Amino acid sequence: MIHRSFFARDVHEVARELIGAVLLVDGIGGRIVELEAYQQDDPASHGFRGPTKRNASMFGPPGHAYVYRSYGIHWCLNLVCAEAGRADAVLVRALEPTEGLDLQRARRGSQSVRALCSGPGKLCQALAITGEHDGLPLDRPPFRLEPSDGTARVVTSRRIGITRAAELPWRYAEEGSRFVSRAPRAPSG
């Protein structure tokens, strides 16, 4: 069980240690295989221009969820890090589905296991994460987080789908995983 205090640290440390951790919502989910780090002083972050109604939970205490709607259609899940008042968070981009595959398939339509959670919008649909989860603590139901066993090898690469600060290697993924949203193009560390 990962306690919310786990998140009261540097976002990059948290991101690296969360690869291989298990994320469940109402018992449904899988192993985290891909994350991206966003910081308050990062032009690509929603918190860069200060608090708004949408990003309010980013500025709240760490160890809580920040859920926002993307392109008017999809939900995306972030885990708030650092100290309260600092808008740092990791975006959960992909899971290796392990729990509740039938329900995930039903929510996503008849799909291959690889297509269930290989993207931030996809995994929110598979786990039924919506705006109602925005601001909820991550160490209380319906969330459950179990730590990685430490065997996952982590690679970094550039973040996906952004135009500002696109050169920063702040995407973290499990090396060789077939469940990431896209294969890292230029792996390092």
Half-sphere exposure of 111 (CA within 13 A, CB side): 19
Q: Which stretch binds DNA (CB under 7 A): 61-69, 95-103, 144-152, 171-179?
A: 61-69
148 counts as binding DNA under rule CB under 7 A = no
Using CB under 7 A, which of 76, 81, 95, 154 touches DNA?
76
Give the whole-angstrom CA distance, residue 105 versus residue 145: 22
Residue 185 binds to DNA (criterion: CB under 7 A): no
Q: Does 86 bind DNA (CB under 7 A)?
A: no
For 98-112, b/e burial (b = at least 16 CB within 10 A) is ebbeeebbebbeeee
Tokens of 101: 């595959």
> Which residues sit opposite 65 in a β-bridge?
79
- Asked if 50 is part of the footprint of DNA (rule: CB under 7 A), the reply reads yes
Site string for DNA, 98-137 (x = CB under 7 A): ----------x------x---xxxxx-------x------
Q: How many CB atoms lie within 10 A of CB 26?
A: 15
- Give the interface with DNA as residue ranges (CB under 7 A): 36, 38, 44-47, 49-50, 52-55, 58, 66, 68-74, 76, 78, 89, 91, 108, 115, 119-123, 131, 159-164, 181
